[in-house]
Structure 1
Amino acid sequence: MSDDTPKQAEQAESTEKPMPTLWEQMGGMVGFISASIPVAVFVIVNWAASMGPAIWAAIGVAVLIAIWRIVRKEALMPAVSGIFGVAIAAFIAYRVGEAKGFFLYGIWVSGALGTAFLISIIARWPLVGAIWSTLNGHGFGWRKDKRSVRDYDLATAFWVLVFASRVIVQQWLYNADETTLLGIARLAMGYPLTAVALLVTVWAVRRVDRRDKARELAEQQEAETAEKELRAKYDTPAQEPS
């Protein structure tokens, strides 16, 4: 048997493997729950004890979640980013000297993301479409279709609203020194708003994908028709003079 056979089998298996969905690429339900548990632990321990134990409890839980995900052979990046995010939030809280500082990092990230998404709409490069095309290698042919750009604009604009609402509400609670309510708002504005935004994103992606497939099919049929006409033109035998 040739040495290339195992490689060919691996390639065939990789091509048959279904492409992960947008939800799976973002970590799925496990990823979202894992990101929220350290925040919930921080809020509870801070309410029951103080900021110091709350910081260490949140970091400890983040590390345990990372270890658990690694043992389960899940994606390493969400585990590392989870520890990284909690560590930054804890460091900010330590530097600020108040427990509410733990939530500043999330507010800043939401503000930065909201600004980036808004600028992408103004630049006619809606980030929802750009990110989806980059993740799946579909290319940016959708930018030639005004309806597809509009759909991605709407989905991107919805994410802007999500990020803006988080910044407005949580910054207001931060300024009001409502640390417990700030933590509750962080959790409450996480899953529900993200779920709705994902639904809008999936709606836009499916509409654009349908148009892309229809356009590709039309281009393929047009190319086949042109090829047939070309063959018919050159394959037709010349008529002999009578």
Structure 2
Amino acid sequence: MRAERDGHRQESAEGDDPQALTVLEQMGGISGLIYSSVPIVVFVPANSLWNLTVAIYAALGVAFLIFLIRLMRREPLQPAISGVIGVAVCAFIAHRTGDAKGFFLFGIWTTLLYAGVFVVSILVRWPLVGVIWNGVNGNGTQWRRHRRTLLAYDIATAVWAVLFGVRYLVQSFLYDNDETGGLAVARIAMGWPLTAAAALATVLLVRRAQKSEHEEEAAEELDQVSAASEGPDAEGPGGTTEPAPPAR
């Protein structure tokens, strides 16, 4: 039984079990992050060449086309569905404001909201990366009992909070200065490349946290075994070892 637990721990540490699912994979992988940039790449030139209405329909059409491609390729649909909904909301805001830069307004405020949520989760000692990671992998909340593990999740959550905070500051500055083209560049440059980097940092931190957690559990089991072997059953009255019974 113990060997089975040790094998499971070794497997988890090496990333060969379902816990190897990364934050990046939950977001649709590299392809999903790249797909999310395509509507923006189409929207800005279409607005410059024609008008806002054409740009809106072009972005919506591309988003729906990406959804169909992922459907035919049997790829995860959740990121594609979220992408269509996101583009639709951005297009609606751009239409209501009558300005192309309105297409980016929803994303700007969303990044500020994300940054705030991640920071609050650290302050209340429930770092969001730890909650999401262990929730997806069905690990419960045992990870919160290990100080080093909790610290690793705090750092990983802080990485994402900083990422979203920087995105908000840069893009809100460009929005206030009517830099629609700059918004598109910033959205893409600070989108999937930085997200992939943050996801990689998260995976490394989580792997280290899990390894530390497994080492602590192994040390606790060893202490328990040592305490049991040195307990009262091993000694006779007065602390002396009982003699072995005579052979018959």
Q: Give the equivalent residue in structure 1 for 2:8.
A: none
After superposition, the C-alpha distances for 1:175-214 in whole angstroms (9 at most, x for unaligned) are 1111111111111111232122122211210111101222
After superposition, the C-alpha distances for 1:125-168 in whole angstroms (9 at most, x for unaligned) are 11111111111112222212222222221221121111111111
Q: Does residue 85 in structure 1 map to residue 91 in structure 2?
A: no
> d(CA) in 1 for partners of 2:21 and 2:55?
36
Q: Give the equivalent residue in structure 2 for 1:179.
A: 180
Is residue 46–residue 53 contact of structure 1 (8 Å, CA) maintained in 2?
yes
Q: Give the equivalent residue in structure 2 for 1:39.
A: 40
- The amino acid across from 1:164 in the alignment is G
Q: Does residue 113 in structure 1 map to residue 114 in structure 2?
A: yes
Name the SS for the 2:125 alignment partner: coil
Q: Give the equivalent residue in structure 1 for 2:151.
A: 150
1:64-213, aligned counterparts within 5 Å?
64-213=65-214
- The amino acid across from 1:55 in the alignment is I
> d(CA) in 1 for partners of 2:83 and 2:116?
23
> d(CA) in 2 for partners of 1:211 and 1:69?
38
> d(CA) in 1 for partners of 2:155 and 2:212?
17
> d(CA) in 2 for partners of 1:182 and 1:76?
27
Query: Normalised by the size of structure 1, how large is the TM-score?
Result: 0.83
Task: Give the Å deviation of 1:222.
Answer: 5.1
Aligned-residue sequence identity (percent) comes to: 47
> d(CA) in 1 for partners of 2:200 and 2:18?
24
> d(CA) in 1 for partners of 2:178 and 2:17?
54
- The amino acid across from 2:84 in the alignment is I
Q: Does residue 49 in structure 1 map to residue 50 in structure 2?
A: yes
Name the SS for the 2:148 alignment partner: helix
- The amino acid across from 2:171 in the alignment is Q
Is residue 41–residue 184 contact of structure 2 (8 Å, CA) maintained in 1?
yes
Where in structure 1 are there 5+ consecutive unaligned residues? 1-14
Is residue 42–residue 54 contact of structure 1 (8 Å, CA) maintained in 2?
yes
Is residue 38–residue 61 contact of structure 1 (8 Å, CA) maintained in 2?
yes
Segments ≥4 residues shifted beyond 4 Å: 15-19, 219-230
Task: Give the Å deviation of 1:16.
Answer: 7.8
> d(CA) in 1 for partners of 2:204 and 2:19?
20
Is residue 107–residue 166 contact of structure 1 (8 Å, CA) maintained in 2?
yes
> d(CA) in 1 for partners of 2:18 and 2:120?
36
Name the SS for the 1:104 alignment partner: helix
Question: Structure 1 residues 207 and 54, CA, compared in 2 at 3 Å: closer, same or farther?
Answer: same
Worse overlay, 142-151 or 184-193 = 142-151
Q: Give the equivalent residue in structure 1 for 2:9.
A: none
> d(CA) in 2 for partners of 1:226 and 1:27?
49
Q: Give the equivalent residue in structure 2 for 1:24.
A: 25
Name the SS for the 1:74 alignment partner: coil
RMSD: 2.6
Is residue 63–residue 84 contact of structure 2 (8 Å, CA) maintained in 1?
yes
Is residue 47–residue 55 contact of structure 2 (8 Å, CA) maintained in 1?
yes
> d(CA) in 2 for partners of 1:116 and 1:16?
30
Where in structure 2 are there 5+ consecutive unaligned residues? 1-15, 235-241
Is residue 47–residue 180 contact of structure 1 (8 Å, CA) maintained in 2?
no
Q: Does residue 217 in structure 1 map to residue 228 in structure 2?
A: no
Question: Structure 1 residues 16 and 134, CA, compared in 2 at 3 Å: closer, same or farther?
Answer: closer
Task: Give the Å deviation of 1:172.
Answer: 1.0
Q: Give the equivalent residue in structure 1 for 2:3.
A: none
